[in-house]
Amino acid sequence: MTTTLRRRELLLAAIAASTTGAYAQADAPVRIGFSMARTGIMAVATPPQQTTYDLWREQVNAAGGLDVGGKKRRVEFVSYDDQSKPEQAVRIYEKLITDDKVDLLLAPWGTPFHIAIAPVLEKYKFPVVGNTAASVALRQIKPGYLWFPTSAIPDRIGVELTAMMKAANVKSAAIVSNVLPFSKEIKNYLEPELKKAGIELKHTSEYPPDVKDMTATLTQVKQANVDAVIALAYPGDAILYAKQAKELGLTAPFQFIAIGPTAAFFAKAVGASSAEGVVTIAHWTPRPDWKGSQAFYDAYSKKYGEAPDYLDAALPWMSLEILQSAVARAGLDKEKIREIISKDTFETINGKVRFEGVQNVITPTAFVQMQKGKLQLVWPKSIATGAYEPKKGW
Amino acid sequence: MSSIVDTLLSGQLLFAALVTGSLYALVALGLNLVYGTLRMLNVAHGDVVMLGAYGAYWAFSVGGISPIVAAPAVAALGALAGLAVHRGLVRRLFATAGAGSTRLEGNSLLLFFGLSIILQNAAALAFTPNARGLAYWTEVYHLGNVAMTGNRIAALVIAGATCIAVAALLGRSLLGLSMRAVIEKREAATIVGIDVDRVQAISFALGFATAALAGALVSMLEQISPFTGFPFTIAAFIVIILGGLGNLFAGLGAALLLGALETYGVALTSANMRSVLLYGAFVAALLLFPKGLFARRARAA
């Protein structure tokens, strides 16, 4: 009697275990969860992240699966639409952990979403390598379960952009800024740096995200007759800015557009000659000494018919490489994964990455410039793949 | 200070105001036609603009067809879509709610709101939510000290000419006469033998066609995504409130006024004031001309 009972208990336990996945068999897929803004105001920005995740899953599965502590297991995604609402992302990550019981988690898109889910990860001790987030506010997140590979943090951008402008012999500048958080943050850190460096700020103005015409603003910029125009724009208004800068004939040789030019659609939307010479934020480009960077560029271009976004596709790929490397050694043990990510140095398509606290301390804050239709790292010199050239018209 | 005066008088702002105003006029025209003849506010109107923009975008990037050449075809597709919506959705709504009932207005608002969400998300599924844009006719021309990009000149000319053509059609033809009759007194129009259903179907076709045409023009000027339609709905809504709901000709003037208000207002204050100016004009119009929306609605009921 007791033996049969025990046998039944064992059976039940086995069933329970297999459904929760705690003792999943080697051939059961690794389930990886994330939330994604597929609708709402952020939906326009998320595709590079989703396409990069999809490419990674395809490659990993084609290679026989994800190396989980020595065993190869197929990868399966569990994802939900967060409707561009951070509070919805919080609920989704809680559900992914407690209800779907996923094995691993990937990051959502954007700074507010990373910040929003940090307490959930802390609560359930679930490590996530972040990617598409950049803000000084990230440093306020309690270190432990969330890391940020990006080096495009606004205070460092302020310092480095000023240094680059100085090196390019810029004496005067104009800033036009979208009022959204990231661009305003850059503006707040850039203005005092320019002043310190003795670069005269002859015009500064802000505009709303739903701007439809910039004639009035850019006419004033033109009258200011400056060496550098710093357009702290988002992708949508970056297009409008470039088109109208051409119409009005802004001749400043140093043309910086904050977000947009790293995406393949930018050059298509404004025309190759307008995109040529534009400087923007990115710390990645394919280069021989960054292992896998060219392979990633080629695979992405082949699958999607356009180049990967130098920020929003490169960063997710880096985060996947870091997670993949940790899981290969730690298996699915969250604490071990956490320990490896917070201590080790990782080889990525962006070179070596090591975290101190929540931040990547190796990758330098950098800028790229469109040269002959390709983005080249032009700042800082230590990782440059090309030399900065003044922009010659639109 | 003198530099601001120079800016205001330069003609550069006038050109910008005319481009903005003519596009607003074209988008608002269609919204007003449908509202006038059916007393239904098509909240999905801006999404038709978005679809028109995608039509021109795909024609350009896949077929290499100029957006200006594609525009008439996009408008024709828009007209077909308008007929389909009228036949498939609006007639049914009339059948279930009964023409002239107060429920109709509420139901139609829900219907178009739903349609708007479906169109946005269907576009996101079909085209991905990626922002897109195209570069066509980007040469810059100079007239005195005014610089104008070819595609903006084309947008201004086509939008302006279409508005004038539609206005002429409505002002002179028998169809226009019957349309205006339906707009002003629907019941009376029925009594004198006007086929109201046909007039409404044509309004839908014309309204969607002009919206899709506006989209084809917009595709040359700014980025497009599945969610770029809604701001056009809002702008068109402000225009028809300013001009008077159902009053097509006043709407054209109001659109130019709004374009000027936006462009010169921003030049005098700051770009951050754009929304304040737009909605300020909207609220002022409602306060100063309260007979607009609500008086008509009471009469229709």
- The shortest C-alpha distance from B147 to chain A (Å) reads 6
Question: What pLDDT, on a 0 to 100 scale, did the predictor assign at position B128?
Answer: 87
Please give the torsion angle defined by the CA atoms of residues B228, B234, B239 and B243, in that order, rounded to the nearest 10 degrees.
150
- Measured between its terminal Cα atoms, the distance across chain A in Å is 87
Using the predicted structure, report yes or no on whether residue A24 has a pLDDT greater than 80.
Answer: no
Question: What pLDDT, on a 0 to 100 scale, did the predictor assign at position B100?
Answer: 62
Using the predicted structure, report yes or no on whether residue B288 has a pLDDT greater than 90.
Answer: no
Classify A83 as helix, strand or coil. coil
CA-nearest residue of chain B to A216?
B267
Question: Among B150, B141, B123, which Cα is nearest to B66's?
Answer: B150
User: For the segment A123-166, what is each residue's pLDDT rounded down to a tens digit?
Assistant: 999 999 999 999 999 999 988 999 999 999 999 999 999 999 99
Size of interface A-B (CB pairs under 8 A): 130
Q: CB A235 to CB B13 under 8 A?
A: no
Q: Binning pLDDT at 50, 70 and 90, where does residue A22 land?
A: very low
Across the strands, what pairs with A173?
A201, A228
CA-nearest residue of chain A to B16?
A215
Q: ipTM more than 0.90?
A: no
DSSP class per residue in A323-368: HHHHHHHHTT-HHHHHHHHHH-EEEETTEEEEEETTEESSSPP-EE
**Averaged pLDDT, A210-217:** 90
Domain count, chain B: 1
Using the predicted structure, report yes or no on whether residue A314 has a pLDDT greater than 90.
Answer: yes
Q: CB A274 to CB B138 under 8 A?
A: yes
Q: Please give the backbone phi and psi of residue A170, each rounded to the nearest 5 degrees, phi first.
A: -80, 130
Residues of the domain holding B296? 2-300
Q: CB A206 to CB B223 under 8 A?
A: no
- The shortest C-alpha distance from B229 to chain A (Å) reads 12
Question: What pLDDT, on a 0 to 100 scale, did the predictor assign at position B28?
Answer: 96
Q: CB A223 to CB B263 under 8 A?
A: no
Q: CB B131 to CB A44 under 8 A?
A: yes
Q: Binning pLDDT at 50, 70 and 90, where does residue B1 land?
A: very low
Lowest mean pLDDT, pick from A96-105, A144-153, B183-192: B183-192
Using the predicted structure, report yes or no on whether residue A189 has a pLDDT greater than 80.
Answer: yes
Using the predicted structure, report yes or no on whether residue B291 has a pLDDT greater than 70.
Answer: no
Question: What pLDDT, on a 0 to 100 scale, did the predictor assign at position A231?
Answer: 98
Q: Binning pLDDT at 50, 70 and 90, where does residue A105 land?
A: very high
- The shortest C-alpha distance from B86 to chain A (Å) reads 27
Q: Binning pLDDT at 50, 70 and 90, where does residue B293 land?
A: very low
Give yes or no for a contact between B55 and B63, defined as CB atoms under 8 angstroms apart: no
- The shortest C-alpha distance from A269 to chain B (Å) reads 4
- The shortest C-alpha distance from B272 to chain A (Å) reads 5
Q: Residue B274 sits in a domain of what CATH number? A: 1.10.3470
Nearest CB to B271: which of A207, A243, A268? A207
| Cβ-based neighbour number of residue A221 at 10 Å | 24
Give residue ranges of A with CB < 8 Å to any B CB. 38-39, 41, 43-44, 46-47, 179, 205-208, 210-217, 219-220, 223, 235-236, 239-240, 243, 246-249, 263, 265, 268-271, 274
Which residues in chain B have Cβ-Cβ distances shorter than 8 Å to A240? 221-223
Beta strands A146-147 and A128-129 are parallel
Nearest CB to B272: which of A179, A215, A265? A179
Question: What pLDDT, on a 0 to 100 scale, did the predictor assign at position B300?
Answer: 40
Which residues in chain B have Cβ-Cβ distances shorter than 8 Å to A248? 12, 147
Q: CB A236 to CB B223 under 8 A?
A: yes
Question: What pLDDT, on a 0 to 100 scale, did the predictor assign at position A26?
Answer: 53
| Cβ-based neighbour number of residue A159 at 10 Å | 16
User: For the segment B242-273, what is each residue's pLDDT rounded down to a tens digit?
Assistant: 887 778 888 888 899 999 999 999 988 888 88
